A and B are shown apart, each in its own frame.
Chain A
Amino acid sequence: MPDHTPELSPEPDLQAAPAATATSALIKLEKHVTDTWVLSRSDEALPDQRPAIVPLALWQYHADRDDLAPWLPSDTELTPALAASLEKAALVAVDFPAFTDGRGYTLARLLRERFGYAGEVRAIGDVLIDQLYYMSRCGFDALALREDQDIESALNALKAFSVSYQPAVDLSEPLFARRLRER
């Protein structure tokens, strides 16, 4: 068993299963889609429904299951060891406990650019229309919007800009290089 195993009761599945829900407001690859995953925030036990996105520590404990995926708290330090363990996950969610917490943007870029994670990277939590454009630039390809957000506005917000100065996950060439190339 790996060293970072969290302390859990010996039979976590025997506890009452926590509430877990799928979102109706999921945007994936810039389209409104039906969510097939449920999200559980309980550190104690797995939900009944599957497939389920569960806290990182719980996922690590059950990492051999295909129908589970981890979500990372925003203060996760993405070490090479952790990143390597995430490779086998079907999706990795990154939590925004508040939309003003910008750590998730860095986490997504590191997952994509540093560790080459190719699966779905999903933003969960306080995910709002006006942050989606930056999220998508940083490598989030799935955006689980807070339930009160308007899907139409969200899809439009993703198209707010047609040009960027800096490279990010969506674009490898900075504008200064593009200008020189087009000169």
Chain B
Amino acid sequence: MYRYDSYDQTLVDERVAQFRDQMDRYLAGKLGEEEFRPVRLQNGLYIQRHAPMLRIAIPYGMLSSHQLRALATITRRYDRGYGHFTTRQNLQLNWPAQEDVPDILADLAKVQMHAIQTSGNCIRNTTSDQFAGIAKDEVVDPRPWCELIRQWSTLHPEFAYLPRKFKIAVTGATEDRAAIHVHDIGLRLFLNDAGELRFRVLAGGGMGRTPMIGEVVRADLPWQHLLTYLEAIVRVYNQFGRRDNKFKARIKILVKALGIEEFTRRVEAEWAHLKDGSQTLNEDAVNEARTHFPEPDRRPVAESAIVAYEKLRQENRAFARFVTNNVMDHKVPGYKAVTLSLKRREHAPGDVTADQMDAVADLAETFGFGELRVTHEQNLVLSDVPVDEIEALWQQLEALGMANPTVGTLNDIICCPGGDYCSLANAVSIPIAQAIQERFDDLDYLYDLGPIDLNISGCMNACGHHHVGNIGILGVDKKGEEYYQISLGGNADDDVSLGKILGPSFYREDVPDVIDKVLQVYVEKRLDEERFLDTYRRIGHQPFKERVYA
């Protein structure tokens, strides 16, 4: 993974010193609340319902065992011994003291981490495919490109006060696991017919209160122009995005208001000036970025080991369940990527304790070259596990409570922190996730249901990505009471779609029953192996609506 050189380290250290001075001025009453606000946000610090919240960047989800141990230490020293992985591959601390934040950032800088631009109206942490570099369907490894974007966007002097936040996602695989259609900019790397590397550039996607699917600005951008083209898009947004209404300030509103043709015309006109400028990439620059993501030194795995692994899978039902759901094929025969589930009823989805972090860091060193990935489904991944070590890993994960064989099922819920923590939320979300996990805990039933994404957001900011859940749940506030709106048919993958609201919202205690009825309709109406999403698309909204509101 990417390692800092002296320039990166200097920049992050100077950022800590800058923020320490800003915090000192704030605490001394020399920097007002309003003026401190964007400064602290762009250093990851929110003021939340119960306490400050600190969001730590995990660039494109890549984390080393060394860094994870440092995070464990930080959560013990400055927080309550746990952290929360988010849908944008970051880690949040829910209980830091605000005056400790400069020290936390200094500790992070020692392990090449930071919280720069994890919040605020700026370019946020770039996200990517959690299986980057190892997926069987990958065409181009997106990580070197993500790193180039990270550097370009970090402390960009022109784009720190955009109309609103700005999120970029990159994929280099056939299947989109980075949800590029619902980002401000989505990038897909591909090879054209001549074998040349190109970017498909989407803009104007997003969730929030006006969910929209991104539109194509450039179908085939040559890779050399990536940074100048991004700069052109963000510059057009900075100049013309709305600033009079924060709910209409995202780039998606601008793209929609201008229409994609006019938006594209402005971007191209801007780009005509920036094209071939000093930020134009060359082979050397990209190769330099690539050297940070070498193939790990994988030992050969004997054919007999692969056979033994398949045999164990046949014989041991529990192991088979784990493999089917939590183990993903790898581009190298004899290797697999293993997902560590952070979904347990006792914890909020994505929560992990300091002890678990330490244990996982050990596992990453034993089983995975000391590297981990954070997924936007709020799980962790060990990306390079030889098949003859999967059983041992599985047993250790069982002991840690991280082997729940439910990845990709209804129980693998994506969920924001909700009203229990977040001052923006209209309603709680974690207790809803827990109630659903409790109701549907029969593994056979979960497997029979097959892949279903159930996503929960506690408000229309949509941090829980409810719009793209096959089943989406949104907390709404009506005259001070919490209600939940259910939508069906959303999908974050390639055939992206936004969920459609089923009808009037429900009381909290009725949500599991409503989900149950929706699932009954699916089970009755599905054909053969049809996924929930496909059944919904075939039979439409009505049968579900009739059953739920009968």
Q: Which A residues contact B (CB, under 8 angstroms)?
A: 77, 99-103, 105-106, 109, 114, 128-131, 133-135, 137-138, 150, 153, 156-157, 160-168, 172-177, 179-180
Given contacts A161-B14, A166-B279, A172-B278, contact A101 B161 (CB under 8 A): yes
B22: A residues at CB distance < 8 A: 130
Q: Which of the residues B5, B15, B157, B162 comes within 8 Å of A166, measured between beta carbons?
A: B157
Contact call A161/B7, Cβ cutoff below 8 A: no
Closest 8 CB pairs of A and B: A102-B161, A137-B157, A134-B157, A165-B151, A105-B158, A160-B18, A176-B285, A161-B14
Chain B residues with CB under 8 Å of A130's CB are 22, 31, 35, 39
Which residues of chain A are within 8 angstroms of B288 by Cβ–Cβ distance?
A: 176, 179-180
What chain A residues lie within 8 Å of B163 (beta carbons)?
102
In the complex formed, the residue of B with least CB distance to A105 is B158
Give CA–CA (A106, B11) in the complex, Å.
23
Contact indicator B238/A105 (Cβ below 8 Å) = yes
- The chain B residue sitting closest to A183, CB to CB, is B288
Q: A19 → chain B, closest Cβ, in Å?
A: 25
Tell me the nearest residue of chain A to B38, going by C-beta.
Answer: A100
Q: Which of A103, A150, A180 contacts B239 (CB 8 A)?
A: A103
Taken together as a complex, chains A and B put the C-alpha atoms of A168 and B231 apart, in Å, by 12
In the complex, chain B residues 108-156 whose Cβ is within 8 Å of any chain A Cβ: 121, 148, 151-152, 154-156
23 contacts across the A-B interface (CB closer than 8 A): A100-B38, A102-B158, A102-B162, A102-B238, A105-B158, A105-B159, A105-B160, A114-B273, A130-B22, A130-B31, A134-B155, A134-B160, A138-B158, A150-B30, A157-B18, A164-B157, A165-B154, A168-B157, A172-B278, A174-B279, A176-B288, A177-B285, A180-B284
Interface residue from B159, B161, B238, B279 paired with A100 (Cβ < 8 Å): B161
CB distance from B41 to the nearest CB of A (A): 11
B218 at the interface (CB under 8 A from A): no
Binary CB contact string for chain B from 277 to 302 against chain A (1 if under 8 A, 0 otherwise): 11101001100110000000000000
| Bound CA–CA A102/B279 (angstroms) | 22
B237-253: which residues lie under 8 A (CB-CB) from chain A? 238-239, 243
Tell me the minimal C-beta distance from A174 to chain B in angstroms.
5
Beta-carbon contact of A163 and B278 below 8 Å: no
Would A105 and B161 count as touching, CB distance under 8 A? yes
Residue from the set A128, A157, A166, A177 with the largest chain B CB neighbour count within 10 Å: A166
Pick from A150, A174, A180: contact of B278, CB under 8 Å: A174
- A109 x B35 contact (CB < 8 A): no
Query: Does the CB pair A180–B151 fall under 8 Å?
Result: no
Q: Taking the nearest CB of chain A, how far is it from the CB of B19, in angstroms?
A: 10
Contact, CB under 8 Å: A163 / B161 = no
B537 at interface, CB cutoff 8 A: no
Bound complex: CA of A109 vs CA of B232, how far in Å? 13
A178→B497 CA distance, assembly (Å): 43
Which residues on A sit within 8 Å (CB–CB) of B10?
Answer: 162-163
| Cα-based distance from A178 to B160 in the complex (angstroms) | 24
Contacts of A168 in B (CB 8 A): 157-158
Q: Complex: how many Å from CA A165 to CA B8? A: 9
Asked if B500 CB lies within 8 Å of chain A CBs, one says no
The answer, yes or no, to whether B235 is at the interface (CB within 8 Å) is: yes
> Which residues of the partner chain B approach A161 to less than 8 Å between Cβ atoms?
11, 14-15, 18, 155
Which of A150, A172, A176 is packed against the most chain B CB atoms within 10 Å?
A: A176
The minimal Cβ–Cβ distance linking B244 to chain A, given in whole angstroms, is: 10
Contact residues in A for B50 (Cβ distance below 8 Å): none
Interface check B25, CB cutoff 8 A: yes
Distance of A177 Cα from B286 Cα, bound (Å): 11
Q: Return A178 CB to nearest CB of chain B, in Å.
A: 8
B5→A163 contact, CB < 8 A: no
Q: Are B285 and A166 in contact (CB under 8 A)?
A: no
In the complex, what residues of A have CB within 8 A of residue B158's CB?
102, 105-106, 109, 134, 138, 168
Q: Are A180 and B238 in contact (CB under 8 A)?
A: no
Q: Which residues of A contact B289 (CB under 8 A)?
A: 176
With A101-B243, A130-B22 already in contact, the answer to whether A106 and B35 are too (CB < 8 A) is no
- Which of A77, A99, A100, A153 is packed against the most chain B CB atoms within 10 Å? A100
The reply to whether B7 and A179 form a contact with Cβ atoms under 8 Å apart is yes
Q: Are A177 and B278 in contact (CB under 8 A)?
A: yes
Residues in B whose Cβ lies below 8 Å from that of A133: 157
Distance in angstroms between the alpha carbons of A131 and B277 in the assembled complex: 26
Q: How far is the CB of A128 from chain B (nearest CB, A)?
A: 6
Contacts of A180 in B (CB 8 A): 284-285, 288
Among A99, A105, A163, A172, contact of B7 (Cβ-Cβ < 8 Å): A163
Q: How far is the CA of A105 from the CA of B238 in the complex (A)?
A: 9
Contact A153 B155 (CB under 8 A): no
Instruction: Determine whether the beta carbon of B151 is less than 8 Å from that of A100.
Output: no
Q: Which residue of A lies closest to B154 (CB)?
A: A165
- Using Cβ atoms and an 8 Å threshold, which residues of chain B touch A157? 18
Q: Report how far A103 CA is from B159 CA in the complex, Å.
A: 9
One digit per residue, 1 when the CB lies within 8 angstroms of any chain A CB and 0 when it does not, for chain B 2-16 equals: 000101001100110
Name the distance in Å between B12's Cβ and chain A's nearest Cβ.
10
Q: Which residues of A contact B14 (CB under 8 A)?
A: 160-163
